[in-house]
Structure 1
């Protein structure tokens, strides 16, 4: 028998042990959500219910106190229902589940998500009424429930959401009265329902670009008159500012070349440089400052007057259709594509005969340089850095393909076009060959552009490029990272090996001799399991059939350790057929050694 004090002590010890192994409430809620959504075995594989801390899980973001604050699970093919357990994630600020096929109702427990600022359930198959409990989420700023099957009235409680600035309820089956306060929301959409708005009602079903409130006709007229007067005043002020700027230009050291301002282009916060300014920065575009050369011109290292180091891309043949399109395309795309793994455009310069783009100077140049052209004493890319480059590049391309609107195809993905900042983080650059893609189209027919050895077989044979074309180029870049070799190397003929790096790696993979291909500069300081994983991802990305290549979001997940085994097993079952077709396509080209070839960049020219 225990004494009273011993019994109390042992009970306390047991309680502490139990608390240390019992699943965290956040883990329980997330695991319940995963089960309710019918998540497949290959998805969210690292969501381990036995973990106490879910902050290392895929698609989960946490704050410094390990509180879950963001879940981004859009377009993942979920077909289940929403678990009421989600309501226990009281620190959650963003919940994005759009683009799935989730059914059932929104649980009332969602009203307990008092920290939530964004709830996005757009484009699912949810039904029932919108729960009035959502009116309890006083911090909610974005409520996006459009393209579902909700019915009934909009709950009056949503009028309590004073912080709401975006309300999207379009394309449902809602009916009845719209709470008056909701017409004051900055941006709203009630179209595609049976609500009291539109032609026969005083309020429109969608907000205009100017904002929220819709006053009676007299107020509208007064507003229009006030707007016109304000516009006239604004024009006058702009005229005065313009005159003042012209006076200041006369006092500046740098004077624009004649005609430089004839065709102004305005893109957000981009700086417009004077040609003379860039001429001085690059020492009159000295050949000693050339960083690289591509199909549309040279890139020069420059130093601005404030000692900022920049890279200046000077386009050649501007007056030709191709050169002009390259400039317009690159400026437009860089202005809309903002991501840590994409090269940021600082500014530009235009004259009647010149087009120049100004980028930040990448201290560690390109991946190709670091793999093959480093000078004695410069550091070799170690294996952890190469893994980081692979993931960073994949994330940049994923952003271009899946998050830009319209989507963007790079069309020349290779090690030479992946730059490295001061921390050796990957930055995808050179959008000179990029292509804006209409979201309604799956591919674009054009003449072939790119670099031989990196171009997908279907692009060579049909001229059709798509996001999967970039995936192929990315796969070749992975092989460059692992091997340190070029995509095409005629010196391999001396050893009776394949000229194409891809064929060479496939051969060694079939012979289970992958160790023979790893870059010797690594001095065996690498993880062979990780090398094999990266090569397998590269081979999946370079399948001859574009439909069977993964999209970049899948590549990101595989690099993070999710879903590779299943895809690899499928690939092995059909590789023999694909190899025969690939060899047939490659047989159309003469790969014999030619002294006129530039192995660094065998460029194909053509219209965009």
Structure 2
């Protein structure tokens, strides 16, 4: 248990917290911060004032810095750009001014940045994490400008004389444009009066009900197609006809997955691109308006360890999502297949899956606003690409499906064997519930066993978690490790990973680490 004690010792000694009791200035407190080995600083919701000391940039071990809800003034120190390990930075709710430092935006490990409710000004940098900031993370800064703020940036101040000339130019330009529009409309009206009546009918048809396109065999009327919404990058423009052809009318032979949210089909688009099409369960989907709103949110969530949503199509009561296709299927498929048709996942690949899935979940919990709770973390929702890089699937679907429902149904809010024990009392899902479910996945990777089933019928604990805890408590931790992959090289790493899983599976949610901490623990094993 030495590694677990080391983790817990790190968790306690590396945290510097003042909650609602601090006041005054920070200058003296962090004067010699280069000598500190602190990894987490939480000074939020206090009465600190004055400028942020540049010496904060010397805290090279810092991963989380939370200063929101104080009265700090002055600029955001560019020296914070020296914090190469920083993953979380919140300075919202202060009185900071000046521009957003490019050095801070360029921090490669930064997953979360909140600058809201300050007096910041100037253009929002287009580097690093600042390229993907949401409006909520910069709201309240009236003098910031850029695409996120919905305003263009003007550089420098013009003299009064230039302003007069500028105003005159606007007036003259307006007059010229107005005259041009009048001339063009006159010419167009004269031509239109001589048009063939059939042309006018065709024009009206092209602007009529989009469903008319579905009755036509011609694909030339592109404006009548049902287009998938475009997000950060141009998405696939698919029609209902395209989707039906790609899935062979949702043929059962193309089904590659079936769960609580709907059925997944392997599909080939007209251009030859292979995708996964999820047809959501009709009885559970929201109305059109709520569905489109959720898609606008989920479509912007991009990360190397999250399955990319390529687009969606909504027609009547039917809702269809289009995802990237994952060639190696789910982790569940590889762990459950013991017949020899698939190679056994060795420990190197299993540990890679654990780290990648943790990274994806950490991004959902801490790197995106609004934060996303998955609510259905399980082995079948961890998918693998050609290089066995894991990607978390179905994130946000629980909220998408049940935004108008309470979080009571186990069909919606989790899968038996992965549901945390507190769920029965609170009926509410939290990020710590996701951490518990991730702990179960770690046990699956370590043991090769599924969370529930006949294997545990006559065994102490009644399920995978109970059995593992019984073995660990009795000093037989090695007995739970999958004998098909256990060897002298993997044994130590597997035992250390087991200790992390045990912490994730604490009955008290408050005792579970965050996914940021879980990711750090796993990386600590990897770097040894």
- Into which bin does the TM-score normalised by the smaller protein fall? 0.5 to 0.7
1:472 equivalent to 2:436? Answer yes
Which residues of 2 match residues 95-494 of structure 1 at below 5 A?
A: 123=68, 147=93, 171=118, 185-186=122-123, 209-213=150-154, 261=226, 265=229, 267-268=231-232, 269-317=234-282, 320-321=284-285, 331-373=295-337, 376-431=340-395, 433-435=397-399, 446-448=408-410, 449-493=413-457
What's the CA shift for 1:484? 1.1
User: Which residue in 2 is equivalent to 1:567?
Assistant: none
Preserved CA contact (<8 Å) 2:236 2:310: yes
Preserved CA contact (<8 Å) 1:334 1:344: no
User: Which residue in 1 is equivalent to 2:191?
Assistant: none
Structure 1 pair 257/366, CA: closer, same or farther in 2 (3 Å)? Answer: farther
Preserved CA contact (<8 Å) 2:228 2:312: no
For structure 2, the 5+ residue unaligned runs are 1-7, 19-25, 59-64, 80-88, 106-112, 126-141, 186-202, 401-405
Structure 1 pair 503/81, CA: closer, same or farther in 2 (3 Å)? Answer: same
What's the CA shift for 1:515? 2.2
What's the CA shift for 1:267? 3.9
Preserved CA contact (<8 Å) 1:167 1:187: no
What's the CA shift for 1:398? 0.8
Preserved CA contact (<8 Å) 1:82 1:104: no
In the alignment of these two chains, the number of paired residues is 420
Residues 213-257 of structure 1: CA distance to partner in whole angstroms, max 9, x if unpaired? 488898789879989989x99xx9xxx9x979x9xx899865999
Structure 1 pair 258/330, CA: closer, same or farther in 2 (3 Å)? Answer: same
User: Which residue in 1 is equivalent to 2:3?
Assistant: none
What's the CA shift for 1:121? 9.3
What's the CA shift for 1:517? 1.7
User: Which residue in 2 is equivalent to 1:528?
Assistant: 491
Preserved CA contact (<8 Å) 2:228 2:237: no
What's the CA shift for 1:286? 2.3
What's the CA shift for 1:299? 0.8
Structure 1 pair 259/398, CA: closer, same or farther in 2 (3 Å)? Answer: same
Preserved CA contact (<8 Å) 1:260 1:351: no
- Three-state SS of the structure 2 residue aligned to 1:561 is helix
Write the distance in 2 (CA, Å) between the matches of 1:533 and 1:545. Answer: 21
Structure 1 pair 255/522, CA: closer, same or farther in 2 (3 Å)? Answer: farther
Preserved CA contact (<8 Å) 2:440 2:465: yes
User: Which residue in 2 is equivalent to 1:512?
Assistant: 475
- Three-state SS of the structure 1 residue aligned to 2:466 is helix
Residues 580-601 of structure 1: CA distance to partner in whole angstroms, max 9, x if unpaired? xxxxxxxxxxxxxxxxxxxxxx
Structure 1 pair 111/42, CA: closer, same or farther in 2 (3 Å)? Answer: closer
User: Which residue in 1 is equivalent to 2:524?
Assistant: 561
- Three-state SS of the structure 2 residue aligned to 1:407 is coil
1:81 equivalent to 2:34? Answer no
Write the distance in 2 (CA, Å) between the matches of 1:395 and 1:292. Answer: 24
Write the distance in 1 (CA, Å) between the matches of 2:480 and 2:11. Answer: 32
Write the distance in 1 (CA, Å) between the matches of 2:285 and 2:310. Answer: 24
Write the distance in 2 (CA, Å) between the matches of 1:472 and 1:307. Answer: 40
What's the CA shift for 1:535? 1.6
Write the distance in 2 (CA, Å) between the matches of 1:168 and 1:43. Answer: 26
What's the CA shift for 1:397? 0.8
What's the CA shift for 1:534? 1.6
What's the CA shift for 1:551? 1.1
- Three-state SS of the structure 2 residue aligned to 1:520 is coil
Which residues of 2 match residues 62-73 of structure 1 at below 5 A?
A: none
What's the CA shift for 1:311? 1.0
What's the CA shift for 1:375? 5.9
1:42 equivalent to 2:6? Answer no
Write the distance in 2 (CA, Å) between the matches of 1:496 and 1:121. Answer: 46
Structure 1 pair 97/457, CA: closer, same or farther in 2 (3 Å)? Answer: closer
Preserved CA contact (<8 Å) 2:50 2:74: no
Residues 107-135 of structure 1: CA distance to partner in whole angstroms, max 9, x if unpaired? 679999xxxxxxx996487968669999x
Structure 1 pair 547/538, CA: closer, same or farther in 2 (3 Å)? Answer: same
User: Which residue in 1 is equivalent to 2:199?
Assistant: none
For structure 1, the 5+ residue unaligned runs are 1-39, 47-74, 87-95, 113-119, 135-142, 173-181, 189-203, 437-443, 563-608
Preserved CA contact (<8 Å) 1:315 1:323: no
Residues 246-285 of structure 1: CA distance to partner in whole angstroms, max 9, x if unpaired? 9xx8998659999974x97554433342222222222332
What's the CA shift for 1:379? 2.1
Structure 1 pair 253/399, CA: closer, same or farther in 2 (3 Å)? Answer: farther
- Three-state SS of the structure 1 residue aligned to 2:299 is helix
What's the CA shift for 1:306? 2.2
Write the distance in 1 (CA, Å) between the matches of 2:298 and 2:478. Answer: 39
User: Which residue in 2 is equivalent to 1:502?
Assistant: 465
Give the TM-score normalised by the residue count of structure 2.
Answer: 0.64
Write the distance in 1 (CA, Å) between the matches of 2:75 and 2:222. Answer: 62
Residues 320-345 of structure 1: CA distance to partner in whole angstroms, max 9, x if unpaired? 55697995586344313211111101
- Compare 374-383 and 290-299 and name the one that shifted more: 374-383
Write the distance in 2 (CA, Å) between the matches of 1:133 and 1:331. Answer: 36
Structure 1 pair 412/526, CA: closer, same or farther in 2 (3 Å)? Answer: farther
Residues 469-490 of structure 1: CA distance to partner in whole angstroms, max 9, x if unpaired? 1111111111111111111112
- Three-state SS of the structure 2 residue aligned to 1:412 is coil
**How well do the aligned residues superpose, as a CA RMSD in angstroms?**
5.3
